[in-house]
């Protein structure tokens, strides 16, 4: 039922190409007025997560944000969402995944699309403070997959303080997303991601007892190669195929039991056909899938290219609708 067939998104008149809508925000957008306060917490496996808080102290509402691949809380899409929710009276918490805060993490493992145990660690830490009675979860790209997977795998067991979730530009099928990113048209993105991913993996080689060598990361060209070489073995999966199969959000969204909004543009160059869970949304009372014709990957540039971006206002409106309805 919650398959949303109409959308309010309208791109700038001359910026309708998915690649332009993807690249321009990362190059041109600057979001000022966010003053983070950093907190470091320890994980159960003796690693750490760096959390960035933006508090208003207005009440008991908190939004938790999860960034995309090789992103951080400093990304403009993270800061833009923080600003929109701060102005609406919410506290905001941005999670820097392991190794993404500017400081290498301690363990051989890092972060990945299905590492919901780290999100669970953050939520346990927040609940010990006994401040918030309303929590919303927002994820972008990889972080969106993680949020959808977490909410789905928890299902009816999800804590009642988590009232809603939202995800933007999500490769819900990790294999299909990897195939899409291996296309020649996405070579520039792949080069950028693999450059930093491989650099981090090389730094971890001394902790691997010999099974990981710096030279293993020379010449890698695809996510399949990187996930086979590092992501899968470092996180307990047999290979990339098993990692993708066990961590893709599309295998969990039918178990979601809170209002959840997924915004995936149809011209997103990072997504393949199976990244749009249309059938699951049609059959779900909880998953609201909206697929604007344009928007790119975490793009959704406003018509005048100023102010809040469309997806930020759309998610805030979603949260407000639920509050007014008592959901």
- Mean pLDDT over residues 96-101, rounded? 98
Residue 211: per-residue pLDDT: 86
Residue 1 has pLDDT above 60, yes or no: no
Residue 59: per-residue pLDDT: 76
Count of other CB atoms within 10 angstroms of residue 285? 10
The pLDDT-based confidence of 325 (bands split at 50, 70, 90) is: low
For the ranges 115-124, 170-179, 213-222, which has the lowest average pLDDT? 213-222
Residue 105: per-residue pLDDT: 96
- Mean pLDDT over residues 258-264, rounded? 98
Residue 2 has pLDDT above 80, yes or no: no
Q: Residue 50 forms beta bridges with which residues?
A: 40, 96
Domain boundaries in the chain? Answer: 3-173+254-321, 174-247
How many percent of the chain have pLDDT more than 70? 98
The pLDDT-based confidence of 208 (bands split at 50, 70, 90) is: confident
**Chosen CATH of 3-173+254-321 out of 3.40.50.1820, 3.40.1030.10, 3.30.1540.10, 3.30.70.980:** 3.40.50.1820
Residue 324: per-residue pLDDT: 66
Instruction: Between 208 and 152, name the one with better pLDDT.
Output: 152
Residues 6 or more apart whose CB falls under 8 angstroms from that of 72 comprise 78, 96, 100, 101, 102
The pLDDT-based confidence of 326 (bands split at 50, 70, 90) is: low
242-251 pLDDT, tens digit per residue, is 999 999 999 9
Average per-residue pLDDT in the chain? Answer: 95
The pLDDT-based confidence of 323 (bands split at 50, 70, 90) is: confident
- Mean pLDDT over residues 77-84, rounded? 98
The pLDDT-based confidence of 327 (bands split at 50, 70, 90) is: low
Residue 306: per-residue pLDDT: 83
169-206 pLDDT, tens digit per residue, is 999 999 999 999 999 999 999 999 999 999 999 999 88
Residues tagged active-site? 141, 268, 297
């Amino acid at each position: 039922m919650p398959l949303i067939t109409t959308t309010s998104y309208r791109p700038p008149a001359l910026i309708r190409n998915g690649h332009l809508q993807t690249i321009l925000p990362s190059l041109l957008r600057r979001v000022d007025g966010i003053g983070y306060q950093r907190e470091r917490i320890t994980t159960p496996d003796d690693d750490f997560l760096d959390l960035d808080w933006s508090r208003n102290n207005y009440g008991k509402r908190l939004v938790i944000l999860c960034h995309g691949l090789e992103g951080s809380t400093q990304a403009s899409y993270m800061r833009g969402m923080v600003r929109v929710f701060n102005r609406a009276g919410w506290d905001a918490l941005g999670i820097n995944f392991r190794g993404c805060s500017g400081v290498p993490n301690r363990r051989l493992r890092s972060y990945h699309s299905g590492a919901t145990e780290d999100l669970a660690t953050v939520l346990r830490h927040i609940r010990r403070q006994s401040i918030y009675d309303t929590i919303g979860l927002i994820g972008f790209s990889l972080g969106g997959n993680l949020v959808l997977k977490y909410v789905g795998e928890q299902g009816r067991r999800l804590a009642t303080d988590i009232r809603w979730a939202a995800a933007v530009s999500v490769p819900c099928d990790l294999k299909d997303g990897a195939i899409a990113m291996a296309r020649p048209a996405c070579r520039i993105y792949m080069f950028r991601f693999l450059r930093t991913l491989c650099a981090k993996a090389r730094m971890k080689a001394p902790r691997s007892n010999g099974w990981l060598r710096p030279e293993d990361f020379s010449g890698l060209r695809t996510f399949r190669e990187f996930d086979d070489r590092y992501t899968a073995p470092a996180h307990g999966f047999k290979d990339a195929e098993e990692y993708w199969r066990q961590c893709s959000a599309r295998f969990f969204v039918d178990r979601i039991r809170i209002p959840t909004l997924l915004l995936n543009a149809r011209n997103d160059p990072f997504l393949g056909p199976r990244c749009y869970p249309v059938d699951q949304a049609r059959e779900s009372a909880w998953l609201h899938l909206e697929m604007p014709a344009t928007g790119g990957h975490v793009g959704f540039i406003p018509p005048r290219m100023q102010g809040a971006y469309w997806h930020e206002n759309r998610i805030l409106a979603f949260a407000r609708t639920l509050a007014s309805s008592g959901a």
